[in-house]
Chains A and B, each alone.
Chain A
Amino acid sequence: MSRMAATRDGYGDALLALAGNPKVVVLEADLGKSTKSLHFRKAHPERTVSCGIGEQNMLLVGAGLASSGYIPFASTFAIFTERAFEQMRNGVARPNLAVHLCGSHGGTHTGTDGSSAQSIEDLAIYRTLPNVVVMHPCDDVSTKALTMQLPELGSPSYMRTARNKTPVLYDGRESEIKIGKGIVVKEGTDVAIIACGVLVHEAMVAAESLESQGVSTTVVDMHTLKPLDTELIDKLAKSCGAIVTAEDHSIIGGLGGAVAEHLITTNPIPMERIGVKDRFGESAGSDEMLEMMELKSQHISDAAKKAIARKV
């Protein structure tokens, strides 16, 4: 069994590792214990700005810091970043100020807190903002590696992390992880499953089951939704001829939307999308939620068969 970890811990580790850069500052909105910026706060209180429970203020304080040569990392729950969406749009993205926003506890996977806490639209909304890089890594190693690259980015970013633990994929493979480059975690020729976040593991399990039924399956961890790795997608469209996307996010506008928007202009092959079907969640355990929302491995493998059957 692989090591289990929560991606939010990778974020916390990365902030601490970045602290050697005196320009790095951390902004909190009373959820540092949860997003894991608390480690940085403990080590560097002088470079940590508590904004109280005030997400809108936090985003624009970040913009001011970024304009003054600092590298601000702001975090709260994914859902509460949305409170400051317009600040992100007009105060951060429009002037292209490199504020790095992290939304933890994303998706229905966050569980028993219920629908008010389960952000299923964050990836979609941030993806619509020019200049903003959007990421949703699947394990703590890649979360840390991607976060460590942000000071060099020079433009704003949004990263979703998860509250609960999932299997770790990339121990010792940090060097393979680059912003904007999807990772082929398994290669096959009949269908390609493109997943992000907590559903990368479900995609791997689906692939195993498909292989046992004689279906040769590729699995891609598309940790960066924007800029999208279109080169890889075009390659997969050619080599597999059918694609399934999988995300713990609304079926509208997220990874599935991004991939479809691209393919429709280059190579519109059969495609199926796994995601939350335009409804809100409720209180239940992480796995119960994935089951209820039809995001589990069997739903992914069923979708793969459907996509393959649609090939001409």
Chain B
Amino acid sequence: MNITELEEMARKCRVEICKMVHRAQAGHPGGSLSEIDILCALYGSRLRVQPDNPDWEDRDRFILSKGHASPGMYAVLAEMGFISHADLETYRVKGGVCQGHVDMKWCPGVDFSAGSLGMGLSYGMGCAIAAKLDGSSRNAYVMVGDGEIQEGSIWEAAMAAAHHELGNLKLFLDCNRIQNDDFCETQMRMFDIPAKWNSFGWAVKVIDGHNMSEIVSAIEWMDSITDKPAVVIANTVKGKGVSYMEDNPAFHGAAPSDEQLAIALSELGVNA
């Protein structure tokens, strides 16, 4: 897909995210809207996967460690054809493939059952080591939130992945500056995030996580690094694309009302 097509895919996904969370009257729109441009770029331009064969053994892995931002993941999986658009209506519904948090036992195309923060990078490291043992060129891509990197286990994995020179482990950090209760600045200041990853032995690049061409080039940059793990630190806006959700901690885990949904859809270019 070219940049314009990726941007259109992201717009459609934003529409689905708002609809899913509205329908369920629960869930996490903010972090889904901040991550979605990166997810679309990755799936639409790079990831080696087969939607009609989701368990293909030699596929690239994508691990959404911030598993609460599942509406974004489901929207992308539907766009890619792993699941149907009708499946999106099962988000948080009994028996549905779209569980509240991404779950590999329920949803085709989901590589890791997340929901507890701080677990995905270690899991990705395991996938990366397995790929090397298999002699495969497949990569493991992981996405974490900025609040999530407060978990100690993230830094255990960061240190270990660099020690083992895992050039096939790639991390996206969704830096939307907000976590559950409030802004990260209030909850836990993290000071110089790029310097931290750098000092842990990672290749580091900082980008605008909503600029599609910057994202696509960053993915190319990541893939060019083969002797150590690489992290793309994406500056993003939580709730990006819906005015009243943008930069608003209240929409970390809250659903829009009927009126608010109508506003969101019109801002996302859906004709009434």
Contacts and interface: CB of A to CB of B under 8 A. Distances in A.
Contact of B187 (A50, A285, A292): A50
Contacts of B100: 112-114, 116-117, 283
A34 interface: yes
Contacts of B151: 53-54
A283 B116 contact: no
Contacts of B181: 28, 30-33, 38
Contacts of A54: 150-152, 188
B16 to A, nearest CB: 18
B158 interface: no
Closest 3 CB pairs of A and B: A116-B115, A52-B188, A284-B94
A52 B147 contact: yes
Interface string A19-58: 0000000001011111000100000000000111110110
B152 A31 contact: no
B186 A50 contact: yes
Q: What interface size band does chain A fall in? A: 20 to 34
A53 B117 contact: yes
B188 A51 contact: yes
Contacts, number: 86
A73 interface: no
B30 interface: no
A283 B26 CA distance: 12
Given A32-B181, A52-B150, 9 more contacts: A30-B147, A54-B152, A56-B152, A57-B152, A113-B115, A117-B101, A283-B94, A284-B93, A292-B94
A38 B115 CA distance: 23
Interface string B137-168: 00000000001101110000000000000000
Contacts of A57: 152
Contacts of B24: 112
A116 B116 contact: yes
Nearest to A82: B116
Nearest to B27: A112
Interface string B75-92: 000000000000000001
A240 to B, nearest CB: 36
Given A52-B188, A54-B150, A31 B116 contact: no
A276 to B, nearest CB: 16
Interface in B172-186: 179-181, 186
B109 interface: no
B113 interface: yes
A114 B101 contact: yes
B150 A112 contact: no
Nearest to A55: B151
A80 interface: yes
Interface of A is mostly: loop
Given A30-B147, A112-B26, A113-B115, A53 B179 contact: yes
A187 interface: no
Contacts of B92: 112, 114, 283
9 contacts: A30-B150, A30-B179, A30-B188, A33-B181, A34-B180, A52-B188, A53-B179, A54-B150, A283-B92
A178 interface: no
B117 A282 contact: no
A53 B147 contact: yes
A108 B186 CA distance: 32
B176 to A, nearest CB: 14
A258 B188 CA distance: 40
Contacts of A117: 100-101, 115
Contacts of B118: 53
B123 to A, nearest CB: 13
Contacts of A262: none
A283 B96 contact: yes
Given A30-B147, A31-B180, A283-B94, A116 B152 contact: no
Nearest to A80: B116
Contact of B101 (A28, A34, A56, A113): A113
B137 to A, nearest CB: 32
A79 B100 CA distance: 15
B12 to A, nearest CB: 24
B229 interface: no
Contact of B94 (A28, A30, A50, A288): A288
A116 B113 contact: yes
Nearest to A33: B181
A94 interface: no
Contacts of A56: 152
Contact of A115 (B26, B103, B147, B187): B103
B243 to A, nearest CB: 23
Nearest to A280: B105
A310 interface: no
B48 to A, nearest CB: 28
A288 B94 CA distance: 8
A307 to B, nearest CB: 30
A89 B103 CA distance: 30
A114 B99 contact: yes
Given A50-B186, A115-B99, A33 B150 contact: no
B150 A285 contact: no
B116 A53 contact: no
A83 interface: yes
B101 A79 contact: no
B209 interface: no
